[in-house]
Chains A and B, each alone.
Chain A
Amino acid sequence: MQHDENRLVFQDGQFTDDVWVDLPDDGPIPVEGPAIVTLVRLAGDDGEYFLHGGCRIGVRLRPEDRLGDLVPWMARLELIALNFEKFTDGRPYSAARLLRERMGYRGRLRATGEVLVDQYAAMRRCGFDSFVVAKGRALRSWQAARIEMSVRYQAPQESVLERRHARRAVLEVA
């Protein structure tokens, strides 16, 4: 299977080529992977293989997939890809937080679909740590954008509220 020439992956602060391969529902299973399958395939006949086999696996979810269905595979999954059908579709943000904060997922959390630099900060704060960026205009914009916010009012990640009151607590102790 070929890597997609038209996209790059941004993670850990840099652009890299993607090592993961998107497996269609009817394709052969690679022995070693790393392969990304759908939830349908994960939960289907090949499920046992994915549960115990040696291949590195990830899953790609659609917004309507139920996160609870992932539970049996949580320990095996190295990557979960949430797809932004449109960058204006906000559902993956909630799904990401649920995976990280409620279900304890620690592997790669990848944003796919329409992934734009202006949503990068929000995605990262919700728990994404891997971003598939289309080459062309989106990539040029990604490289040109300069601004990131250092101040945030909400959890997750340390918020202004916490910083304000942490400082106060220190002052009160002093």
Chain B
Amino acid sequence: MSATVLEAPVGASVTPATYCYDAFDKQFVAERTAQFRDQVERRLAGLLTEEQFKPLRLMNGVYLQLHAYMLRVAIPYGTLSAVQLRRLADIAERFDKGYGHFTTRQNLQFNWPRLVEIPDILEQLAEVEMHAIQTSGNCIRNVTTDQWAGVAADEIMDPRPWCELLRQWSSLHPEFSFLPRKFKIAVTGSPVDRAAVATHDIGLRMKRDGEGRPGFEVLAGGGLGRTPILARTVRAFLPADELLAYVGAILRVYNRFGRRDNKFKARIKILVHEQGIEAFRAAVEAEYAAGEHAAEAALTRAELARIQAHFQPIGYEDDLPERDPGFDRAVFEDEVFAGWVRGNLVRHKVPGYAIVNISLKPVGGIPGDATAAQMRTVADLAERHGLGEIRVTHEQNLVLPHVRLRDVHAVWEALGEAGLATPNLGLISDIIACPGMDYCALATARSIPVAQAVARRFADLDRQRQIGDLKIKISGCINACGHHHVGHIGILGLEKKGVESYQITLGGDAGADAAIGKILGPGFAYDEITDAVETIVDTYLQGRNGPGETFLAFHARVGAAPFKEALYAAR
């Protein structure tokens, strides 16, 4: 295999094993960009009212936020090439304020673009096969998946070709562009669900049937927000080539019968809940049975084969040993490096390679923010040591998915120089936080400074490691972009009597045993919330049966009582 790729100098283009646009895709994005430019011009000329323009701009990822417009760029299934990441850095500097924000839906947000310049930004994106199509609006949003797709050792199949197929199929879908509400699809190819599929409108779990044929367990009706509900199984096994037709049937039932009278009852979860899963399933199956799908299935097979060819692994060095002596020595000799390796490195399916996770949660930093310089550093490292590929995680971190063990130490050193070697992956300071009232027009309270204060309180790494696996997730309003419902400790910022107030939930879980956290009790003021989190953590540390009992296990064993006692008894 091509070993030259591995030594590529910075700036040389390394083509990663991910989807590349063909002429149709390029033309589609170019035309959509021109169409949006025309829409902006008609808005400025007064030919579109704000009411008419708003759904159009949202469907192309443009919000009007608290301080300015915001542009949400799609990063389909969280996969980026070095060239794309470098372009995002360029845009951040040229059109924005030198940074970007990676979101819980594997997207990137620019916080300060001017409306009149957004068409230019979209042209810049289109040049590197990117866009902002359907990153908002009541349509099918960017499809998300496992950030380690294609490289995780525990995977059944790489879900990304299916995500790409769904991306194309859902792009400007003529029937499903004005759904009752937004619609999110997530796919997992691994039994360890890192894509939180049960919290999506449609969740797809890759399976194989008795004869080894690929397919999906299809779930529907999950969602967080005001009414958190976990998705229910609609089909236990759907043959893979029926995917588009079946998803289309679900969407048609939802488009026709989903509630449009009340924004808060318009998600598909409410339809499934109100009809009951049996009636909903019957409606979907009836719609599906009424259609003729053979041609579409044949097309799906052909198209999938075409797309899958793009994802064939390329550039791996053959026959590397499981272990690398230089790497082992560095781990042995350098305690700090060893600590980062323990936390941030994950086993790769190819011997001699590792998955390197880059925390975007430096203590005191803004979760998910990266400066243009940092983006360039990561892009350079991906080209030099990572087959040109980067992943974005729903926990707002980045990943270099293919790094040779022998290069890991050099990568770590370079990350350290850029302030990107925080060794806190999965620890208490690796907090998910939505933008909250520092940026978001819908927010009821801030989330970022709460995350910063909690991370500072637990800055001591030994203490973090002693606490172990503990996920804190913070949302600045009931829309739950910070996934607080599925945080081990969830924090929801609300307004109470004219000030910010924070409600705590415990016991949520986004993984394969997904669970919605339970509200602990009355909320806490802005300057009380950090103490409250520390009290919760101390209660756990004092009560657990040794370090083997995780926070979630402890909570499952003892319930909320000891936490309530510790928090509220003194009040």
- Give Cα A163–Cα B299 distance, bound, in whole angstroms: 10
Interface of B is mostly: helix
Question: What residues of A have a CB within 8 angstroms of the CB of B256 in the complex?
Answer: 91, 94-95
- Give Cα A162–Cα B303 distance, bound, in whole angstroms: 9
Chain A 87-121 interface residues, beta-carbon cutoff 8 Å to B: 87-91, 93-95, 97, 102, 116, 118-119, 121
Q: Are A89 and B178 in contact (CB under 8 A)?
A: yes
| Given A93-B175, A93-B255, A126-B175, also A147-B35 (CB < 8 A) | yes
Chain A 151-174 interface residues, beta-carbon cutoff 8 Å to B: 151-155, 160-165, 168
Report the stretch among A46-54, A70-78, A137-145 that lies at the interface: A137-145
| Given A126-B175, A144-B45, A154-B173, also A164-B22 (CB < 8 A) | yes
| Given A150-B27, A153-B28, also A144-B42 (CB < 8 A) | yes
A149 at the interface (CB under 8 A from B): yes
Q: Are A90 and B176 in contact (CB under 8 A)?
A: yes
- Give Cα A168–Cα B256 distance, bound, in whole angstroms: 36
B179 at the interface (CB under 8 A from A): yes
Question: What residues of B have a CB within 8 angstroms of the CB of A137 in the complex?
Answer: 46-49
Residue of B with least CB distance to A149:
B31
Q: Are B178 and A126 in contact (CB under 8 A)?
A: no
Question: What residues of A have a CB within 8 angstroms of the CB of B168 in the complex?
Answer: 153, 160-161
Q: Are A88 and B138 in contact (CB under 8 A)?
A: yes
Q: Are A91 and B255 in contact (CB under 8 A)?
A: yes
Q: Are B27 and A151 in contact (CB under 8 A)?
A: yes
Q: Are B31 and A150 in contact (CB under 8 A)?
A: yes
Chain A nearest Cβ from B284, distance in angstroms: 14
Q: Are B302 and A168 in contact (CB under 8 A)?
A: yes
Chain A nearest Cβ from B411, distance in angstroms: 38
Chain A nearest Cβ from B273, distance in angstroms: 20
How many residues of A are counted as interface, with CB atoms below 8 angstroms from the partner's CB atoms? 40
Chain B 136-167 interface residues, beta-carbon cutoff 8 Å to A: 138
Interface of A is mostly: helix
Q: Are B303 and A161 in contact (CB under 8 A)?
A: yes
B570 at the interface (CB under 8 A from A): no
Q: Are B38 and A146 in contact (CB under 8 A)?
A: yes
Q: Are B169 and A153 in contact (CB under 8 A)?
A: yes
B306 at the interface (CB under 8 A from A): yes
Question: What residues of A have a CB within 8 angstroms of the CB of B35 in the complex?
Answer: 147-149
Chain A nearest Cβ from B262, distance in angstroms: 14
Chain B nearest Cβ from A145, distance in angstroms: 6
B52 at the interface (CB under 8 A from A): yes
| Given A126-B174, A137-B47, also A147-B299 (CB < 8 A) | no
- Give Cα A164–Cα B307 distance, bound, in whole angstroms: 12
Checking B172, B176, B178, B255 against A88 with a beta-carbon cut-off of 8 angstroms, the contacting residue is: B178
B55 at the interface (CB under 8 A from A): yes
A125 at the interface (CB under 8 A from B): yes
Chain A 36-84 interface residues, beta-carbon cutoff 8 Å to B: none
- Give Cα A153–Cα B248 distance, bound, in whole angstroms: 13
Residue of B with least CB distance to A96:
B175
Q: Are B172 and A153 in contact (CB under 8 A)?
A: yes
Question: What residues of B have a CB within 8 angstroms of the CB of A145 in the complex?
Answer: 38, 42
- Give Cα A163–Cα B22 distance, bound, in whole angstroms: 12
B87 at the interface (CB under 8 A from A): no
Residue of B with least CB distance to A95:
B256
Question: What residues of B have a CB within 8 angstroms of the CB of A95 in the complex?
Answer: 256
Q: Are A90 and B31 in contact (CB under 8 A)?
A: no
B488 at the interface (CB under 8 A from A): no
B332 at the interface (CB under 8 A from A): no
- Give Cα A163–Cα B56 distance, bound, in whole angstroms: 28
Residue of B with least CB distance to A157:
B174
Chain A nearest Cβ from B131, distance in angstroms: 13
Question: What residues of B have a CB within 8 angstroms of the CB of A151 in the complex?
Answer: 24, 27-28, 31
- Give Cα A148–Cα B25 distance, bound, in whole angstroms: 15
Residue pairs across A and B with Cβ atoms less than 8 A apart, 16 shown, are A88-B55, A88-B178, A93-B176, A94-B256, A97-B175, A118-B52, A119-B178, A122-B172, A151-B31, A153-B168, A154-B174, A154-B175, A164-B24, A164-B303, A164-B306, A165-B306
Interface contacts beyond A102-B290, A164-B306: sample of 19 additional A-B pairs, CB < 8 Å, sorted by A: A87-B52, A88-B138, A88-B178, A89-B260, A102-B291, A116-B52, A118-B56, A125-B174, A137-B48, A140-B47, A144-B42, A145-B38, A149-B35, A151-B28, A153-B28, A154-B174, A160-B24, A161-B303, A165-B299
